[in-house]
Structure 1
Amino acid sequence: MGQILRIACTLLLLALPLTAQAEQIESRNFQVLRNGTPIGHHIVTIRRNGERTDVNVDIRLRVTVAGVLTLYRYIHDSHEIWEGDRLVSLKSTTDNDGDAEYLNATAAAAGLQVDGSRFKGMLPADTMPTSYWRSDFVQRATIMDSQNGRRLDLVVKPSQLEMASVATSDLPAYRYDVTGEVDLTLWYGRDGRWVKTAFPAKDGSKIEYLLQ
């Protein structure tokens, strides 16, 4: 009996490192600039384990005068769960300069069940959220606002390969110009990694996300 227990414990210890190695963790840290001045960060943490992918998004932005008076703040936290190429869960909370928004989306037999501060109902199963970390964002027919669940009508222009200036270097990336209810430009590297975003803010200032 004792020998059997020792063998079982040995097999368990041998299996633990294999389990730990199965999970792949990747972090994408963006510096956020407003008219060239840093105002915060956007961090995407991706954990892959087999067909399942967990994604945490942490955004903290603050526009100030002389580093003291806050003119604008933005706080967003979200957690996505993917099974293969399908979004099966997304939960987010947002403080958009004092305006609270939320989203709870869950995969269902009929599609994606959405309970958000701007939309409640069913969206197609292949709906893509505006977290932008997946390069196939530009190919999906249905786009959902990650803050509040509303469906966005967008047009994506064909990509072109160019040199994209990120935080520490220039690198070749495919550029996509997105217009419609959201206007922005996205850059994805040759490996599909999201590396840069630029868009105009409501006050006309230029916002850039640069991969660190």
Structure 2
Amino acid sequence: MVRAAVKGVKVAAPLLATLAVLAEPVAARAVAADPRALYGAELVFDIYREDRPVGQHRARFRAIDGGVEVRSTTAITLKALFFTVYRFDYDSLAEWRAGALSKLTVAVDDNGDRRAITVAPAGDGLRLTVDAETPRAVPRPLFPTNHWNAAVLGEGRVLNTLTGALNDVRIRAGARAEVVTENGVVAATRYDYTGDLRTSVWYDDRGRWVAMRFLGRDGVPVEYRCRRCQGGPPAQ
């Protein structure tokens, strides 16, 4: 939970010099870091819409030969009275080697609208396939929009893992804030995406993802609030 315009977010006094110093180190540390050293085996967020819990996001990290496997899942359910009016399910499995994405498979079920995305090695680059479309070559490095890896902050293009599109973005550091985590309040920096994506993501000073906020298709704010983002015991 972030303390600011987002409920639970308290923005610290503007310190432009501090922000300028922090923006690069956060990304640089994340490139070399094993995500298990940052998050432990699991990263968990509760998802809120209009301040009501509607789902959960999890990322699980597992060592593999020569790298790390990351499984990310999201489940959202919206109800009206006692009826389910919307359901969203997301499941991705990625392999990261030497700090770079090597393979990725994604399955999305957006209230019955299904999409499959795959990324595989292809020579010096990668091959991106969306549903039954013709595969396309994409250069390395490629960062998917799973957000746990703060090295994305230095990028100008990301893979949208909901649509399979390559989105051109500008990511800029914003205000400092205090974010509620399982270990209490931590200092974090907000990073705002503009361009093809518009969202705000908060990272603490070690490069750990601790919060996110964006507008849904209907214009209603959606928040990711930390349940487990500091490497504590597995969430229940």
| Interval of TM-score (by shorter of Structure 1 and Structure 2) | 0.7 to 0.9
Letter in 2 for 1:96: D
Letter in 1 for 2:85: L
Letter in 2 for 1:202: R
- Name the CA shift for 1:26/1:89 in 2 (closer, same or farther; >3 Å): same
- CA distance in 1 between partners of 2:219 and 2:85 (Å): 15
Q: So what's the TM-score if we normalise by structure 2?
A: 0.74
Mapping of residues 14-53 of structure 1, within 5 Å: 26-49=41-64, 51-53=66-68
Structure 1 counterpart of 2:96: 82
Shift, 1:165, TM fit: 4.0
- CA distance in 2 between partners of 1:159 and 1:102 (Å): 34
1:96 equivalent in alignment to 2:115: no
- Alignment check: 8 A CA contact 1:198 1:207 kept: yes
Larger RCO (CA under 8 A, 6+ residues apart): 2
Letter in 2 for 1:163: E
SS at match of 1:80: strand
1:188 equivalent in alignment to 2:212: no
SS at match of 1:157: strand
- Name the CA shift for 1:62/1:112 in 2 (closer, same or farther; >3 Å): same
SS at match of 1:171: strand
Shift, 1:170, TM fit: 3.0
Superposition RMSD on alpha carbons, in Å? 1.9
- CA distance in 1 between partners of 2:129 and 2:137 (Å): 9
Q: So what's the TM-score if we normalise by structure 1?
A: 0.82
**What stretches of structure 2 of length at least 5 have no aligned partner?**
1-35, 228-236
1:133 equivalent in alignment to 2:148: yes
Letter in 2 for 1:109: G
**What stretches of structure 1 of length at least 5 have no aligned partner?**
1-23
SS at match of 1:131: coil
Shift, 1:76, TM fit: 0.4
Shift, 1:51, TM fit: 4.2
Letter in 1 for 2:209: W
Q: Which has the larger radius of gyration?
A: 1
Please, which of 164, 167, 175 is the counterpart of residue 149 of structure 1?
A: 164
